[in-house]
Amino acid sequence: MPDLRSEALRYAKENNSRFLEELNDFLTIPSISTDPGHAADVEEAANWVANKFEKLNLVNIKILPTGGHPVVYAELNTSVPDAPTILVYGHYDVQPAEPLELWTSGAFEPEQRGENLYARGASDMKGQVCATINALEAVLEVGASPVNIKFLIEGEEEIGSPNLAEFISKNQDLLACDFALNPDTGMIGADNPTITYALRGLAYFEVRVEGPDHDLHSGIYGGVVHNPAQALCELIAGMHDENGSVTLTGYYDRVRSLEVEERNQLSELPMDEEFYRKQTGAPVLWGEKEYSPVERVGARPTLEVNGIYSGFIGEGSKTVLPSWAMAKISMRLVPDQDPDEVHQQLISYFEENAPDTIKFEIKYLVGSPASISDRNSEGVKAMQDAMERVWSKKPLFRREGGTVPVVDMFSGILNIDSVNCGFSLPDDNAHSPNEKLHLPTWTRGIDTIIHFIYNFEK
């Protein structure tokens, strides 16, 4: 019997530059899901993925409509008897690229500089999607796959997957599987393969504050009207106390405490104050002093201003007293916070604290709870072994600060666990200008997934 695993690894190595060319092609599509102006590009990216599945001779390939952007689905049904079925999750949409002027090369004109490939979506997560597809291609090229695979590649992850839960609910039979593989959570560093066992949730809001019914001259009316920009600042300022804790009433009531054992394990991660200071470039770190940076990011909820706007922000001076102000405010949630409950807490905060000099409106854009999964499942063990083979060291287990709503949906609707990993790095500038993919790590990622698949060989 030939050593399929080695053959597949050799095939992947020999085809690495073609894999890279294909990724480059995928990255030229500006599939920005939040922007209606890019709807055609998002569709093109879906077609690109479906096309790729066709070249692999997968079956049951479908571009399935949702209330928003479609899901690309495909199956590999192996001839190996009693093979487990893995649901591979991915997304083909990307974040907006603004501010464009901060990119060294075009956001959708991928450019390799040194060991990195620069483009929006390179790391989050077109590179990860391609790595999975490439690994499967290598496996299929050399023989029968030891596993069945179902792909679910969505187009709305960057806007909080608003239509995915409904899609999964309606397609439970189609998606039936043993567990999911989700390569969207990344690594702590290029030398630290990582499995993520907990993810934060997200609740995202747009808040609007209105004062006078039109923009006013700040000279003629300044002094008698509560400036809505100032009022919004006052409300936002009140949302944290001096320790950096969120002041919304009841906000921490459902937050699961960290046990000593887990705190000890988290403290072993190579992510200290200096690590975070270097990654962010912040002059000094900030946040709840009684928790370490890793704990604050992984196990504590936050409240962030993602954007704020009011009045005149162009060149020079305009003496306007603006009639309204707006902020995008989101919370990262941890087990067992509930996004709808947090929504209520935000409304209550405004009801209790907004002065009668202004009116407010709160729009609830997306909500998704946090998730936490079994660290000893069959899937996790197969991934742990695969990483150890490629990096010659055990992977780290961590809680992650980001949100992958699908992990919670898979668990809640399909009743399956997810193996959360991925080959992106903390300095990949996900969601920022100059997003990039570290190519040596990406190549190791392809090998890891090949090993992962063969770890289910009987």
- Nearer Cβ to a second copy, position 146 or 339? 339
How many residues at the interface with a second copy, by CB under 8 A?
102
The C-alpha angle 125, 129, 135, rounded to 5 degrees, equals 140
- Amino acid type, 62: K
Burial of 370 (0-12, 13-18, 19+ CB in 10 A): buried
Of 320, 349, 443, 457, which is closest to residue 390 (Cα–Cα)? 443
- Residue 263 touches a second copy, criterion: CB under 8 A: no
Listed in sequence order, the residues at least 6 apart from 228 whose beta carbon sits closer than 8 Å to its beta carbon are: 209, 210, 211, 212, 310, 322, 323, 324, 325, 358
- Residue 270 touches a second copy, criterion: CB under 8 A: no
Burial of 296 (0-12, 13-18, 19+ CB in 10 A): buried
The residue from 80, 190, 308, 362 that contacts a second copy (CB under 8 A) is 308
Positions 181 through 200 that interact with a second copy (CB under 8 A): 200
Positions 354 through 413 that interact with a second copy (CB under 8 A): 355-359, 365-366, 400-403
Rounded to whole angstroms, how far apart are CA atoms 433 and 101? Answer: 9
- Nearer Cβ to a second copy, position 239 or 380? 239
- Nearer Cβ to a second copy, position 172 or 286? 286
- Residue 458 touches a second copy, criterion: CB under 8 A: no
- Nearer Cβ to a second copy, position 31 or 134? 31
- Residue 283 touches a second copy, criterion: CB under 8 A: yes
Positions 110 through 149 that interact with a second copy (CB under 8 A): none
- Amino acid type, 270: P
- Residue 211 touches a second copy, criterion: CB under 8 A: yes
- Residue 232 touches a second copy, criterion: CB under 8 A: yes
- Amino acid type, 330: S
Q: What are phi and psi of 226, to 5 degrees?
A: -75, 115
Rounded to whole angstroms, how far apart are CA atoms 212 and 196? Answer: 49
Q: In what order do the strands lie in the sheet with 436-438?
A: 111-113, 116-118, 436-438
Contact, 346 vs 248, CB < 8 A? yes
- Amino acid type, 205: F
The residue from 241, 268, 304, 361 that contacts a second copy (CB under 8 A) is 304
Positions 420 through 449 that interact with a second copy (CB under 8 A): 426, 429-434
The residue from 233, 255, 347, 372 that contacts a second copy (CB under 8 A) is 233
Of 12-20, 49-57, 103-111, 208-216, which part binds a second copy (CB under 8 A)? 208-216
- Residue 247 touches a second copy, criterion: CB under 8 A: no
- Residue 95 touches a second copy, criterion: CB under 8 A: yes
- Residue 39 touches a second copy, criterion: CB under 8 A: no
The residue from 224, 376, 392, 458 that contacts a second copy (CB under 8 A) is 224
- Nearer Cβ to a second copy, position 106 or 311? 311
- Nearer Cβ to a second copy, position 297 or 439? 297
> H-helix or E-strand containing 88?
strand 85-91
Positions 48 through 87 that interact with a second copy (CB under 8 A): none
